[in-house]
Every structure is written in structure tokens, then in C-alpha cells.
Structure 1
Amino acid sequence: MPSSSSSEKESDNQIEHAGQPPMNADEELLHKLGYKQDLSRSISGFSNFAIAFSCCSVLSGLTPLWGDSMNNAGSMGVIWGWVITGVMTTLVACSLAEICSAYPTTGGLYFWVSRLATSDYVPLACWVTGWYNWIGLCFGITSIDLGLAQFIASIINVWRPDVNTSVYMQYGLYVGILLIHGIINSVAVSWTGVMNQGAFFANMLGLLIIVIAGLAVTYPLASGEFVFTQFYNGSGFSNNGYAFLLVILQSQYTLSGYDSAAHMSEETKNSQKGSPYGILNAVISNAISGLVFLIAVSFMVKNFDQQITSDSAISPQIVQVFLDGVGQAWTMVFLVFVMISIFFSGSALTLGSSRMVYAFARDGAMPFSSYLHSLNPNTKSPVYAVWFNVVVAGIVGVLYMINSTAYSAIVSVNTIGSQMSYFVPILLRITVSRKTFIPGPWHLGMFSTLIGTISCAWILFTCALFICPTVWPVTPDNMNYAIVPFAFIMILSTGYFLIWGRKWFKGPVRVVDGQEVIVGEDEEIIRNDDYWNSEKREIQGN
């Protein structure tokens, strides 16, 4: 295993290869993993962290669902649910960071699977993992941008209560936000990295202002007994334990999407350290800041019945808490920071998702792969992949206008997809590749199997939970429909693989000196570019 010091030293030196331009350590590693340096490697480890941080930022994830969670389990349930989820997600992030340190590629999770699975199961395992990952990221864009549209509508309601901010108006706002995110992520990645660094500092400033000003201005504050000991079951279920578990949806939804750090690996300097640290630090920093935020907001609740459970309260309910506690002026300040956080979270998810689609299309596993695996010659960004995700997210958002509980279902699908894409590589790491895995500079050592086992158990538990009902009694209007779109997409994609895809998709394809070989078969040239393209077209045509 290479030492950290040798890795850092190597990253500063240029490595000469006969007949080829000089490559630095990052490009050399990428070459060994089978890919050329096509993307612009121009962002720092901090920018990588900032992108992952924005994807799972507290203000963007907690604020839209906070009121529902308070109604399900009260302040005590929300706080302890966050603590438990934060600890368990940190363990999952540790397992992912270890694998990322060994294989820092834009393909991320599905590429890792190609190195961890047995050769017979590599194609199917990569295909399924990639589609899990894409579903999680795409539905994440939808949920985040819809959340921003809801907050814009709530601001309109604060200043103009006479305006009808219907779901149709909110969908129109949502489409506008998607278009802006598409434009932002079509520019050079170096600019995107700077924007996400700014978003990180804006997020932390917003958290400080909400916590400090909120506690200082709100009077009277709630009691410590209310904040730390009150449990309220407004879910309709008679079992308080199940009601408590419902708050995990809010917490796990917030702490997901941090795998975007892995998808930015091929654009990150010193990627074997920068990307795993981006994953881990994004989760830990958000877990700690989220706990502070939740405690502070609970102290700001002045009347639980009127602000949380009443049908007349402004939605999202946290806006009502701000309005009653600090007044219109401070509420506007708070919401500006919340909206900035949500906006850049959606932008970061669009960025990470576009890189995942670009990498997946590089191996022919996406519709329109020849277009999606292309870079703009000026910005070196996968512009087609960006707009593909924007269009799909716009279509998914239509569900919000059809059913009143669609937002919760979209949140659930986002979380299930992300969690399942984490599950496959971790499971393979601790079972199939337990003795053969060669770690990178960042690793868990003797604790890898233990932490991986706990992580897999947690992921399966949360995925099962997120397809369960969230309200009782269950009716056609409030039923959790998350399993429907998730199963529909996975059945279509897996069916396509079994009927056609298995004939040509063999997993990630290494590009070595103008030729392509299947990952894991380095000694044998399988096909060159021209032959592979014509053979693939012939199979698909049949």
C-alpha cells in the first residue's frame, strides 16, 4: 500500500512515459484504471468537499421536511433521529471513502463494483448499481428544486397572502430553477468549483445567523423540557416506535448525495485523498451543524399546535416558526440564506449527476450514450449529460402536480436509489473482495469489515422503511407511492439489460492507447474503437 507521503510527493512530480506526454500522479493513476484524462482536472480538494457538502447541506435538506418530522415525533424524536442517522451515515461514508481512495474515477460507485465483483457478475452488478445511483441523483435534483419552489411560494404568501401559490405555480418556478441549474453547469468546472466554495461559506453563515439571531430575537424561547423530552405522535399510527422511525426519512434524505465527491474525482487534484476526504468531511460537518440547527429551531417554537399541527400554518412549517419568532424582516433574511443553500444544493446535485451520466454513457449504459459521453470543446463539460438530467427531472416533477404526497415519494425514491447504490460496492468489498482489495492512501484497516457490515445493515433497514406508509389511515391520496416509480425504472432498465444489454455491455471499458479492453482483462485486447462501435451497433440493431 503506498504511503500518504509518497502519494503527495508523487503528485508534485511529472511522470514520463515513452512516446506519451508527461502525466502527473493523478493522470498516471487514472491511466492505470483504464481512462485518459479527458475532463479538466482543475478543482481542489476543498472544492470537491464543497460540492459534496452542498449536496447534503442542512439548510437544503432539513428545512422542507422539518414540520412533517415534528408532527411525527416531536422535538425529541427529530433530534435523536438526527443523531442516530448522523452516526450511521458517517459509518457508510467511511466505507465508501475507503473504496473511493482506491478507485477515484468519475464512474464512482458502478466503476468500483467492476473492480470488486467476480467477473461473471460484473456486467449486471455494474448496470444495476449505475442505475440505482442515477435514480438517486436525478430524483435528488427533483426533490431539492421542488423544495426551493415551495420556499419561494411561502415567501410570496408572507408578503402577499392573497396570491394563490398553487402546485401549478410552484411547478412553473421549479422549471425555471432547473433551467438556471442547467446553464450554470454548462460552464467550465473551475467556475463551478468556485461557486460551490462560495455556497459553502454562505451556508455556514446562514446557519450561524439563523441560530444566533433566532435564539436572540425569539421571545419567549421554548423550554429545555420541550426541546429534549417532548415526544408527539401526530402520524396516526398507534405505535410510537414506528412514528419515531418516520423522522429518519428527513435525516437520511438530508445526508445523501455526498457520493458526488466521487463523481468529481477525475476533476480533483490529488484525488486519492481529495475525493474520500470530500465524502467523509461533507457528512461529518453536516451531521454536527445539523444537530446545532435542529436544537436551535426547536427552541424557537412558541406554540406547537398553531405552528406545527394546525392546517392554517404556512407550509413549510418552519417558515411559520421563523415568522412568529423573529418577525417578517428577520424571516426574510433567514429564508434568503435557506434558498441560497437549496439553490446551490440543486446545482451541486446537477453537477454530480451529469458526471455520473457522462461516465456511465462512456461505457454505453445510458440512452443516447454517444451524445451523453461528449464534452463541450470550450468548457470541457459534459453539456449533453447536464441537460439530459434537467429534462428528466422536469418530467419527474410533473408527479408533484398530480398527487399531494408526491413530494414525499420523490424524497423516498431519491433516498432509496442513493442508499442501494452505496449498498452494492460496500457489500462486495466486505464479502467477495475482502482479501483481494488493495486499499488506497485512506483506508479503515482492521475495522473495514465491521464498519462495512454495520453500514450494509443500516442501508437495508432504511430502504425498507422508506417504502412503508408515513400516515395512518392509509388512503389513495396519502399512500407512499415511492416503490412505484423506483420499481418501474429498475424493471425497465434491468429488462433491457437482460434482453439486449447483456450482449454487448461487459462493464466499464478501459481506453488504453486508442484501444478498448474490458476492465479486469488487461492482458487481452478485446476490440479497438472502430470494431467495438460497429459490433455494438450491429447487436443493438438486431
Structure 2
Amino acid sequence: MMSGGSIAIIEGFLLVAVFTFCVALSLAEICSAFPISGGLFIWVSRLAPPEWVPIACYITGWCNWIGLTVAITSTDLGLAQFLSSVISISNPDYNADIYWQYGIFLVIVFIHGIINSVSIKYNGVFNQVSLYWHLIGTLMIVIVGLVLTPNKPSGKWVFTYFENDTGFSSNGYAFLIGLLQSQYTLSGFDSAAQMSEETKDAARSAPFGILYAVGTTGIFGFMFLLGVTFCVQDFQAQIVETTISPQMTQVFLDGVGYNWTIVFTVIIMGAMFFCGSALTLGSSRLVYAFSRDRAMPFSSYLSRINSKTKTPVYAVWANVIFAAVIGILYILNTTAFNAIVSVNTIASSLAYLVPISLRLTVARKTFTRGPFHLGPFSPVINTVSCCWIVFTSALFLCPTENPVTAENMNYACVPLVAVLGGAIIFFQLRAKKYFTGPGKSMEPDPYLDENVSFNSTVSTPSDDRDNKRVLVVDNVNINTDNHSEQR
């Protein structure tokens, strides 16, 4: 709201949703051609030239991991902020400074680590509860908020109010900075492709899963933002001058009263808690799969499965520790939360950029389209997607306040460069000697999937000209190259 006002919130969200849908279209086309579980990492191995497959897959996997793991930090820090705001309105003497918020954040991250270290059978129940919590909670906040809030602003204010409290003279730049919230929200939709091999008619269904994810998020996100913006009665008092952080709590408090504010914040905190747990689960599975191909340091530990819980416990706690370390930035820098959100958004976008750019350039003539494709519009949409990703990635590395000081500088580039740079150095020094692309990560794991029973017979086709073998697992054939079998 302080970087573009309600225009950045409402029209900015719609703008981001349109361009993000272009990115989703580009990924959906690739997904239809390669309906294989593993998503981005696997697609790149099919699109890149053979000599570039290892490094392209490696960078994509690491970007995907950074996006997921830093998302744990941003989500759980946001939850810690909301929890602190609830405590502060209940007890005005409570000083919810950044040190207390970071301490609460550590407790939340630790709980998520425990949840994802216990038996895997509880994850399904957790996801079902999360689904209904989000749907019912969002509708309750919007409906009750609009009904109870007195002195609601006019439609003109909601759709046309502009505010620039960034310190920069350029209103256009302030508006662009305000797009970070929307772009941060509209990410992670590639997850629909992760279950391709378990989806009926995956070449058609999985691409639409990606598109539905962006479409429904766009619709419900717009409803939520529109509803909350109509609850803002005094911009200066509720947004600029309030001492409660996040300011949304103050908006609720003035609009619907104390009791409903507690209900609303509990709904939001519950949604964040479920989201953080899901991110911990997803990032740990990515680390586990990536480590099976020895693409990460300490892969021998990170690829282990606990025999009792059937969960990759080492991978879970590696992500928890990394998320906690990234959270230290929140203490050191006043605008660190935006920086952490930026890293999350940029890394996820870069993971999308690699397969889309390969489809647009290297594989332009060799790409075999699936049932869902963009036809003659493919080059145009893919170009728009790449330009949008590059533009937003560069934008979210820029400062968000002026004058720029050591305290408010956007340090998003620090963890991004440190992790990606370290990963590339590790690849050049060690990983390139044995990492050749997807291998064991494409094979089902009997510990993680209780419904898969392995046939011990490995059948070798008589015609082995493609230098491949076929591992028969019940009714599923998984192609694995000789490199993974030799390892």
C-alpha cells in the first residue's frame, strides 16, 4: 500500500496475474509434451543439448530448491509477525520487536521440521484440512469484513488511490516495487506437474492443472485483496502511522472489532502454518530427489530415508536449518523481509526461465508438441514469459526505499549469489565428474510410496541401440540410463 497504494494492490495484482498466466501457458505446453513427474528438472534434461544437460539441470534444480526453501523463511516470518501483532493488541505492554519475532519464527520452523519428520501418512490429512481452511477462511474474511466494516471507502478510492512513501521521486518505480507482493503470491504453480505420472491422461490433465492453479489463485486472490482494501477506513492512521505490524491487523481491528480480528488473524495464521508445512515437505522431497543423483553436498546423508517414519529426515532438517539461517537477515536489516520475499520470487522465476528459454531457442525446431500446445502463438507467448521473468527478477533486486542506506538496502542478491555461486563452484570442482542429469531421481522409491511394489526382474531389450535399459515396476516402465545403473 505504501508502494503504489490501492492501484498497486488491485490493478497491479491483475497485471501480474495476466503475465504470470503467460508463464503458466509456456510451462503447460512443455508439461504436455513431457508429462513426467519431476517437472522442471526433468523437462530441462529433455530440452537442453546433450552436452549442456548436466549444468542446465543442475542450475534449474538449485533455483527450484532456493525458491522453495526461502519460501519457508518468508512464510514463517510472516506468521511470526501476525502472531506478534495479535499478542500486542491483547497485551499493549508486550514489546514485539524483531528479536521476539525471530524467536517465534524459530519455534514455528522447528515445529514444521517435526511435522515433516514423523510418519508420511499424516501429510494427506494435513493437506485436506489446509484446503478447506483456505477456502472457507478466505470467504469468511471477505464477507464478514465487508458487512461489519463501517465507513468503507468509495470504489473510486479502492481502484484509483495512489501512494508513494518509498522516498523515490518516480511514481512509476514505486508502483513497480509494489508488484512484488503479487508476484510472490503467484508462484509455485509448477507443482501441478510433479504428480504427472499419477494423473489420468496426464498429457492433457497436468497442463490444465498448472493453468487452473494460476487462474483460481488470480480469482480468489483478487477477491481477498479487494475485500481487505474496502476495509481500509483511514489510510494514514491504519497503514502509515500504526505501530502494529503487519498493518492488516490494524485495518481489521478498526473495521470489525477485537473479537473478529482475532478470528481473522487466526484464519490467516492457520493458512500460513499449513503453507509453511507444505513448503517444508516439498523442499525436502526436492532435496531428497536431487541428492539421489548426488547433485548436492552431503548427498549420502540427504538421500537417506528413515526406516520407521519413511521420511527423508536429513533433507527435512537441512532445509529447516537453511531457512533459519536466512531468517537472520530479518534481524540485520529493516527491509530484510522484502529481500527474503524477493529471493523466493526470483529463484522460482529463474527455475521457470530455463525450460521456457530452451523451448524458445535450442529446442524450437526439435520440440514435439503434446495434446496441449499454443500453436502459432507459442513463440510470442514464450518470448513474453521470458521477458517478464527477466524484468521482474532484475526489478526485485533493486532498492525499495530512498535514500538508500546500509539498513534499508535490498540485500536479496547476497543469499541468491552466495547459494547459486556456491552451487556452480561445487559443480565445477566435483559434481560434474559424476552428475549427468536425472537418474535415480526418476525412479520410484519404495520407502516414499507404499503403493509401489517392486518387481525384482530387470528386463533388457534385445535391441539396445539406444544404450538404455528398462526397469519394470508393476505396470510402470521407467527409462534409466546406464550411468545411474553403474553408480
Cα separation, 2, equivalents of 1:469 and 1:302: 29
Shift of 1:527: 4.8
Partners of 1:467 and 1:483 within 8 A in 2: yes
Partner of 1:162: 93
| Pair 1:499-2:443 in alignment | no
Shift of 1:288: 0.8
Partner of 2:330: 400
1:317-361: CA deviation from partner (whole Å, max 9, x where unpaired) = 111000001110010111111111111111121122122212211
Partner of 1:383: 313
1:4-83 alignment, distance < 5 Å: 70-83=1-14
Q: Any idea what SS the aligned residue of 1:259 has?
A: helix
Q: Any idea what SS the aligned residue of 2:96 has?
A: coil
| Pair 1:523-2:467 in alignment | yes
Letter in 2 for 1:388: A
The counterpart of 1:366, out of the listed 296, 317, 336, is 296
Cα separation, 1, equivalents of 2:120 and 2:30: 24
Shift of 1:362: 1.7
| Pair 1:207-2:131 in alignment | no
Shift of 1:440: 3.9
| Pair 1:340-2:270 in alignment | yes
Q: Any idea what SS the aligned residue of 1:507 has?
A: coil
Partner of 1:110: 41
| Pair 1:461-2:398 in alignment | no
Moved more, 392-401 or 213-222: 392-401
- Residue 142 and residue 271 in structure 1: after superposition, are their counterparts in 2 closer, same or farther (change >3 A)? farther
1:138-158: CA deviation from partner (whole Å, max 9, x where unpaired) = 111110011101111110011
The counterpart of 1:478, out of the listed 400, 408, 412, is 408
Shift of 1:187: 4.5
- Residue 331 and residue 127 in structure 1: after superposition, are their counterparts in 2 closer, same or farther (change >3 A)? same
Shift of 1:382: 2.9
Cα separation, 1, equivalents of 2:34 and 2:71: 24
Partners of 1:153 and 1:165 within 8 A in 2: yes
Structure 2, unaligned stretches of length 5 or more? 444-456, 470-480
Partner of 1:227: 158
- Residue 505 and residue 314 in structure 1: after superposition, are their counterparts in 2 closer, same or farther (change >3 A)? same
Partners of 1:100 and 1:262 within 8 A in 2: yes
Cα separation, 1, equivalents of 2:340 and 2:322: 13
Cα separation, 2, equivalents of 1:355 and 1:261: 15
Count of residue pairs the alignment pairs up: 458
Partner of 1:256: 187
Shift of 1:282: 1.7
Cα separation, 1, equivalents of 2:322 and 2:100: 19
After TM superposition, the score normalised by the length of structure 1 is 0.80
Partners of 1:264 and 1:355 within 8 A in 2: no
Cα separation, 2, equivalents of 1:324 and 1:403: 30
Cα separation, 1, equivalents of 2:199 and 2:96: 42
**What percentage of aligned pairs have identical amino acids?**
55
| Pair 1:177-2:108 in alignment | yes
Partner of 1:285: 216
Partner of 1:89: 20
Shift of 1:105: 4.2
Q: Any idea what SS the aligned residue of 1:238 has?
A: coil
Cα separation, 1, equivalents of 2:102 and 2:301: 28
Cα separation, 2, equivalents of 1:83 and 1:74: 14
Structure 1, unaligned stretches of length 5 or more? 1-69, 533-542
Letter in 1 for 2:403: P
Letter in 2 for 1:250: Q
Shift of 1:472: 0.9
Q: Any idea what SS the aligned residue of 2:193 has?
A: helix
| Pair 1:150-2:81 in alignment | yes
- Residue 119 and residue 375 in structure 1: after superposition, are their counterparts in 2 closer, same or farther (change >3 A)? same
Cα separation, 1, equivalents of 2:116 and 2:205: 21
Shift of 1:194: 3.3
Partners of 1:307 and 1:313 within 8 A in 2: no
